[in-house]
């Protein structure tokens, strides 16, 4: 066993001897405080250990912990724990900047703290609202802060059948008409959410403004971002679109039943005239 260790040490020493022939490597060794003419594996290890022990200070220890939290954020898949880890890391880095008298580092991470805190608060509110939605509260109010305002006048077309679908609408005021099924959409209703689910992201109908109104819009990219921040939003959206599909099915069934009743009434009237 000792012979094997000696052989490895000898091989490493030979590699180091060959490497020191390179002038660049020799300069690096000099900067590290080593003698290029007498470099061994043990000498490098001892020098690195000496540098490490010499730089063990409270400030560097705090920086190392902060770096650990930063690396942890790269491994996280959801935004809430990522923001928490980022805030903790900012605290350690700010403390490092204060102890090392590095003003720029201290101010940078001190400013990042409230930014992360605000975003974390938004994410927590989003998670809370999405959980309520998953439990049956289908209010869309919680989504409004993520939407932008847009106004339409009577006669304007919001989108047409088979158009590329890139955003979802929430009606605030006015009236809108789905032309294919002759259904009016009143304030407080969603439009365009089905285009988010179609394989080619195409509109499933044409919507026209029939009374001046205001809508709120949100892009599908933003919806995806919200989904990845809180996957429960995906369940909420599934329930929402399922309700819309069931409503459409019920509407078609009612129309079919009405047409059958009208046909039956017309047939009865014809029979009575013949009789």
Pairwise CA distance, residues 233 & 223, whole Å:
9
pLDDT for 63: 87
Helix spans in 179-231 (H):
220-229
For 111, residues 6+ apart whose C-beta sits below 8 A from its C-beta are none
Determine the average pLDDT of the residues in 233-245.
Answer: 71
Among 25-29, 61-65, 156-160, 206-210, the minimum mean pLDDT is found in 25-29
Q: What is the pLDDT of residue 25?
A: 63
Q: Which residues pair with 170 in a beta bridge?
A: 190, 216
How much is the pLDDT for 212? 94
**Nearest of 161, 148, 157, 231 to residue 194 by alpha carbon:** 161
Which is more confidently placed, 262 or 86? 86
Query: Per-residue pLDDT tens for 181-201?
Result: 888 889 988 888 878 777 788
Cβ atoms within 10 A of the Cβ of 136, count?
A: 7
List the structure tokens of 211.
Answer: 């009374």
High-pLDDT (> 90) share of the chain, %: 23
* pLDDT higher at 124 or 134: 124
DSSP β-bridge partners for residue 177: 184, 208
- 210 backbone dihedrals φ, ψ, rounded to 5°: -110, -5
Region 248-252 average pLDDT: 75
Q: Are 214 and 174 in contact (CB under 8 A)?
A: yes
Residue 113's pLDDT is: 92
Q: CA separation (Å) from 216 to 188, 190, 211? A: 10, 9, 16
**Residue 1: is its pLDDT beyond 50?**
no
Place of tokens 């000496």: 50
* Comparison of pLDDT for 9 and 70, the residue scoring more: 70
Q: How far is CA 191 from the centre of its chain?
A: 23
Across the chain, mean pLDDT equals: 79
Q: Is 62 exposed, middle or buried (0-12, 13-18, 19+ CB in 10 A)?
A: buried
Q: Find the range with the poorest average confidence among 24-28, 92-96, 156-160.
A: 24-28
Q: What is the pLDDT averaged over residues 59-69?
A: 88
Cα–Cα dist 269/267, whole Å = 5
Beta bridge partners of 149: 216
Tell me if 112 sits within 8 A of 90, measured CB to CB: yes
- Top pLDDT among 181 and 168 is at 168
- In our burial notation (b when 16+ CB lie closer than 10 A, e otherwise), range 206-240 reads bbbbbeebebbbbebebbeebbebbebbbebbeee
Q: Rounded mean pLDDT of 96-113? A: 90
């Amino acid at each position: 066993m000792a012979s094997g260790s000696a052989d490895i040490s000898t091989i490493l020493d030979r590699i180091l001897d060959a490497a020191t022939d390179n002038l660049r490597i020799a300069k690096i060794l000099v900067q590290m405080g080593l003698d290029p003419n007498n470099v061994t594996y043990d000498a490098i290890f001892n020098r690195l250990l000496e540098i490490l022990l010499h730089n063990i200070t409270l400030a560097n220890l705090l920086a190392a912990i902060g770096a650990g939290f930063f690396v942890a954020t790269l491994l996280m898949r959801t935004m809430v724990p990522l923001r928490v880890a980022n805030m903790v890391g900012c605290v350690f880095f700010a403390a490092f900047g204060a102890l090392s008298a590095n003003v720029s580092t201290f101010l940078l991470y001190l400013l990042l703290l409230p930014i992360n805190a605000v975003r974390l608060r938004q994410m927590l509110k989003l998670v809370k609202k999405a959980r309520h939605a998953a439990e049956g509260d289908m209010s869309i109010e919680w989504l409004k802060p993520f939407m932008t305002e847009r106004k339409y006048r009577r006669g304007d077309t919001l989108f047409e059948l088979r158009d590329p679908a890139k955003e979802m609408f929430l009606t605030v005021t006015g009236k809108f008409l789905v032309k294919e099924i002759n259904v009016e959409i009143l304030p407080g209703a969603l439009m365009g959410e089905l285009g988010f689910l179609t394989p080619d992201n195409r509109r499933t109908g044409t919507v026209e403004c029939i009374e001046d109104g205001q809508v709120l819009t949100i892009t599908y990219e933003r919806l995806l971002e919200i989904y990845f921040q809180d996957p429960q939003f995906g369940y909420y959206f599934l329930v929402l679109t399922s309700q819309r599909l069931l409503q459409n099915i019920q509407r078609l069934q009612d129309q079919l039943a009405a047409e059958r009743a009208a046909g039956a009434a017309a047939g009865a009237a014809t029979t009575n005239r013949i009789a």
